[in-house]
Structure 1
């Protein structure tokens, strides 16, 4: 049986004329969409696409499968719409909070899937620097919010009536300029190996910086912070330019817009947990549905 997500990818390429444009439409990266299409070709046992300098076109087998896929996807949309009416998802508004990294790299495909299944539900997305999203859930400003917590760091207690469901746990890793000596070794780099290195870090009160500095102190090393930046995108850009090294979450390193060297650290106790905060006693069908989509999407992200 063909995966509907891959069938939708094929139809999107047929309509957009290129993998890059189709990926942007679906909320994926081009490499991720290419992987889905390659899996579909293996399932079909035939080449479905021919790539050319201006994009991609479907082969005869691809055209045949895309025509059938449109019918399948249309029927699935009808079924979702009818089920949504039964579940109370035929209207209303769902307010979602997120922080920047998850909002850029993980949330769009989830919202695309939600909108496809429930086009009558109005979506609103707001940006919150954790733990402000949790407060927004508690006050009723949003229905649910993606948030994060770092280890080691003192846990922030949740407000009454708010629960946090963990979705993804990722390590913090070292990022350097390409070709940097610390990125070239094999295996994990002991944290003590950062002694004397110029660190690009966040504000002193930011939990990841506190965790890194605590780990360095435990290893008998003194941090040498040469630059502070409020956002990971700028941190990675400065590192890529050779101004220093930094410790960032794996997802940030993997999706940086600038080239980086990446290496895991020892011990592996520096982590970030991404969770969805919600109000269990007041959950709407729309919020429950989006949480289920988040569990599936973040689970795949953690396994990739």
Structure 2
């Protein structure tokens, strides 16, 4: 019988390609990784990895065992999650991480639904950038993450979300929730507020209050033929609303963030010619079989649909895949 901890080390070595990266991902020291690999090779009776330059290469036996390790670890994770849901007081607990705009709009709607349909279910919420949520999910510190696709203008540009570009681990499963477009926040009596949509070219003379992650916006301004005058920088969305209300400048926010605040001094108008972002839920595939996680996933899907009054700026995803 192989030690699950050693199987986890092998799976991480296979995923990252080096023992150093595996140690960092698992929170181990590199000598501890080397020791676990030696013990696993002793139990198997065969070499599992060979060195190749600065990295390592899995032997045929290592590749075969790594495939089985993923299956074994997924089954253990599923059992742990299901038993936790069955034995937790009050009917179960789900740990959720979500980006800021999801926390102020989408997640509260979902939790409101759960309060009615599953009042015994406890959900803990962590606000985190997409990269952090992805890491929490891989480390089994959460069961579910609400994220968006993270894109950059060019390989050297800082992403518009303020973080680094992210490659989703292929072992994880995603469920599309909605597409979210960029809006310009402006005083209610601004001349452009009379228009249903606005373009950057029409706002070239304005002052702006921006989030620190602004690469895509700056690139779009360059394409429109101007460099924006930046009056203030803030990453808190409520702060941006208040800065606009007090006429410090205009702001650009995703529609999810816009819908969470209703200051009558401020209006939002969709920005033309700007790419939408796609918001999705991310989880381990086996977690879909855990009733508590499945209930939260369903509530998030329901919350992503337009409200009865047709919440502006939010368009439901065209397809939902399992």
Structures share a fold, TM > 0.5?
yes
The separation in 2 between residues aligned to 1:137 and 1:112, in whole angstroms, is 24
Q: Aligned to 2:180, which of 170, 179, 184?
A: 170
Counterpart secondary structure, 2:181:
strand
Q: Is the 8 A contact 1:146 1:277 kept in 2?
A: yes
> Match for 1:246 among 240, 243, 251?
251
The residue number in structure 1 matching 2:260 is 255
Task: Determine if contact 1:196/1:222 at 8 Å carries over to the other structure.
Answer: no
Q: Please, what TM-score do these two structures have when normalized by structure 2?
A: 0.59
Greater C-alpha Rg = 2
- Tell me the equivalent position of 1:101: 101
Range 130-139 or range 232-241, more displaced: 130-139
Unaligned runs of 5+ in 1: 1-86
Pair 88,301 (structure 1): closer, same or farther in 2 beyond 3 Å? farther
Is 1:281 the counterpart of 2:286? The answer is yes
Unaligned runs of 5+ in 2: 1-84, 154-158, 160-164, 312-322
Q: Distance in 1 between matches of 2:286 and 2:188?
A: 49
Q: Secondary structure at the match of 2:305?
A: helix
Q: CA deviation at 1:224?
A: 1.5
Quick check: 2:105–2:257 contact (8 Å CA) kept in 1?
no
Shift of residue 262, structure 1, vs aligned partner: 2.4
Find 2:192's aligned residue among 149, 170, 182. 182
Corresponding position: 1:226 with 2:231: yes
Contact 2:110 2:302 in 1 (8 A): no
Preserved contact between residue 137 and residue 143 of structure 1 (Cα < 8 Å) = yes
Q: Under a length normalisation based on structure 1, what TM-score does the superposition of the two structures give?
A: 0.62
Change (3 A) 1:149 1:160: closer
Asked if structure 1 preserves the Cα contact closer than 8 Å seen for 2:104 and 2:257, the reply is no
Matched, 1:194 2:203: yes
The aligned length equals 214
C-alpha RMSD of matched pairs (Å): 2.8
Q: Which residue of 2 aligns with 1:38?
A: none
